[in-house]
Amino acid sequence: MVEIRIHGRGGQGSVTASKLIAMASFYDGQFSQGFPNFGVERRGAPVTAYVRIDDKFIRLRSQIYNPDYIIIQDPSLVEAVDVFAGAKEGTIALINTEKPASDFKAPKGVEIKTIAATKIAMQIIGKPIINTILLGAFAGLTGIIKIESVGQAITEQFTDEEIVKKNIEAAKYGFNSIKKK
Amino acid sequence: MRKILEGSRAIAETINACKPSVVSAYPITPQTHIVEELAKLKADGDGHYEYVRAESEFAAASIVLGASATGVRVYTATSSQGLLLMTEVLYNIAGMRLPIVMTNANRAVSAPINIWNDQQDAVTMRDSGWLMWFGETNQEVCDLHILAYKIAEKLQLPIMVNLDGFILTHVVEPVEIETTEKIKKFLPDYKPTEFLDVNNPLTLGAFATPEHYFEIRQELHQDIIDAKKAIINSCNEFKKIFGRDLNLVEYYGDKNADTVLVAMGSVLGTIKDAADELTKAGQSTQGGPDGKIGVLKIVAFRPWPKEEILSHLERAKNIAVIDKSISLGREGILASEIKQTVGGEKNVTSFIVGLGGRDVTVQMIKKIYEQAKNKNEEAVFVGR
């Protein structure tokens, strides 16, 4: 079983991100479970969401304490929240930032990858919608979900054709930019 | 069709496929998404029911009571304070023998105010005369709703289908969503025998003097006990049509286990995972813990499946009942019921977990398994 924890701020779409990953892995033929850390939602407040992926139905209902992957949607959270809590040997953290990975202090055994998702989003979508770029990057980085399935999840989730098109483009950009590294 | 979707949406789509005539609700976290989806389905032209937005839960319950009394299929949903506000109407619905199906997204009760999951709201309605069922997964919850309409309309008894708020209502997971076409093979159109009709006047829920009230209550009591047989038959029919199992109770793990954990709702998934880990650990360590563990899931809290529970707990020495609710000053409510059923010979302990949304982990279940062997007279709170 693969366990993913997403850290973001209210309004950044952390819950949508967990849903999209769960959907994409379902379309890949896997079993998945995406859920928010049930808080009181406020714009800007730290938010956590989770995803589990497995080859059989996922019965476990607890939160995720020892994630295999951590997605950090806002770099300021690294200072504000213990984003690396429970990280283990081999955990990979993907941070949305323009800074290089070496600027962040990670616990021993944790690998940090960075992508300037906000900057890319402004170029492609024209708004700081970072979710789908990070999703594409996650697919490129890990291979756990296929980029085609990410596209399918985006198509299912959003109704507006233009939004779907731009977000798929953004996801592909994220996918390719981290794959090349 | 197998879909990946939020639990609330899965329930809304299943309810829509059951073709109710009237839906009335008042939004409350964590039930909100269910009734939002039903309102949206209606607004989009995909739901063919009257959707009545009520001004309170008391009104919502009253609206479905009135609608059901006219002989149509109805639906409502609520949580926590909303359920408590419905109390008076819920007793009336049961007394009037109206076949209403309601979803309760389990949530803690105030004060202090808390929007998160436990099962205190539901168990507070234990004695209202409603049948009460608890689902472990969103698939089971959806299936229980289809079964609920069948049983409610056959026996003229209201049914509350419970699912853990947030943990199930807000999780995105795969669920088989059944079509109206297929559901109709199992659940025929509702044909009421007695209903409010201007051409054939009658009174429902009328005055009953001491001469009659006593027997009316006794009859309701007996009908709830007798509901078991109809449910078992319908579960078999359900399996034939949909290919999935539904049961009053479900046993998991070693049939000869000394220690059996008993619970209701979504926590069973975590308990089953813990049981597998304990069994594995027991097999690999020589002279270590015996590792033999059984799990008993209670799906039907009402009717109370006494014989099924007794047969599964016959060989158990230690029984750990894991409740997400408490009769304050006593113990877990499921624990009391299990104790009453199995008698004084067995070592039954009441464990309290998850109040107000406290997360329940595999580690905590392992701790409960270890402590189940001790003789604990009082309820044991496992918070971490």
- A17-30 tens-digit pLDDT: 999 999 999 999 99
Structural domain of B23: 2-242
Co-location of B206 and B335 in the same domain: no
Co-location of B325 and B237 in the same domain: no
- Which DSSP string corresponds to B88-154? HHHHHHHHTT---EEEEEE---SSSP--S--SHHHHTTGGGS-EEEE-SSHHHHHHHHHHHHHHHHH
With an 8 Å Cβ cutoff, are B273 and A60 in contact?
yes
| Residue ranges with strand state E in chain B | 2-6, 22-25, 50-53, 74-78, 101-106, 131-134, 159-164, 172-176, 249-253, 259-263, 293-298, 300-302, 318-323, 347-352, 380-381
Q: What domains lie within chain A, and their CATH numbers?
A: 2-180 (3.40.920.10)
Co-location of B152 and B234 in the same domain: yes
With an 8 Å Cβ cutoff, are B172 and A33 in contact?
yes
Read off the amino acid at residue B24. Answer: S
- pLDDT exceeds cutoff 90 at A114: yes
CB proximity B223 to A under 8 Å: no
What percentage of residues in chain A have a pLDDT greater than 70? 97
Bridge partners, A151 (sequence order): none
Rounded Cα–Cα distance for residues B323 and B335 (Å): 7
Co-location of B128 and B193 in the same domain: yes
With an 8 Å Cβ cutoff, are B4 and A22 in contact?
yes
Rounded Cα–Cα distance for residues B344 and B159 (Å): 32
Question: Considering only alpha carbons, which residue of chain A is nearest residue B359?
Answer: A62
CATH code for the domain in which residue B149 is found: 3.40.50.970
Token pair 């918070």 in the structure block, residue: B383
Rounded Cα–Cα distance for residues A101 and A72 (Å): 13
Boundary (domain end) residue, out of B223, B242, B261: B242
DSSP assignment letter at A101: G
CB proximity B177 to A under 8 Å: no
* B contact residues 304-333, partner A, Cβ 8 Å cutoff: none
**For position B285, what pLDDT does the model report?**
61
CB proximity B116 to A under 8 Å: yes
**For position B291, what pLDDT does the model report?**
61
**For position B287, what pLDDT does the model report?**
47
Low-confidence ranges of chain B (pLDDT < 70): 284-291
Co-location of B229 and B260 in the same domain: no
Name the CA radius of gyration of chain B, rounded: 21
- pLDDT exceeds cutoff 80 at A9: yes
Whether B356 and B118 have beta carbons less than 8 Å apart is answered as yes
Co-location of B58 and B99 in the same domain: yes
Co-location of B208 and B253 in the same domain: no
The secondary element (H helix, E strand) that includes residue A9 is strand A2-9
pLDDT band at A99 (very low <50, low <70, confident <90, very high): very high
ipTM: 0.95
**For position B288, what pLDDT does the model report?**
47
- A41-63 tens-digit pLDDT: 678 889 999 999 999 999 999 99
Co-location of B262 and B121 in the same domain: no
Boundary (domain end) residue, out of B242, B269, B285: B242
User: What's the domain count of chain B?
Assistant: 2
Read off the amino acid at residue A151. Answer: G
- B96-139 tens-digit pLDDT: 999 999 999 999 999 999 999 999 999 999 999 999 999 999 99
Co-location of B203 and B306 in the same domain: no
- Report the residue of A37, A57, A61 to disrupt the B interface, i.e. the one with the largest count of B CBs within 10 Å: A61
- B146-190 tens-digit pLDDT: 999 999 999 999 999 999 999 999 999 999 999 999 999 999 999
Boundary (domain end) residue, out of B217, B242, B267: B242
Co-location of B230 and B258 in the same domain: no
With an 8 Å Cβ cutoff, are B173 and A38 in contact?
no
CATH code for the domain in which residue B265 is found: 3.40.50.920
Strands B2-6 and B172-176 turn out to be antiparallel
- How far is A53 from chain B, CA to nearest CA, in Å? 10
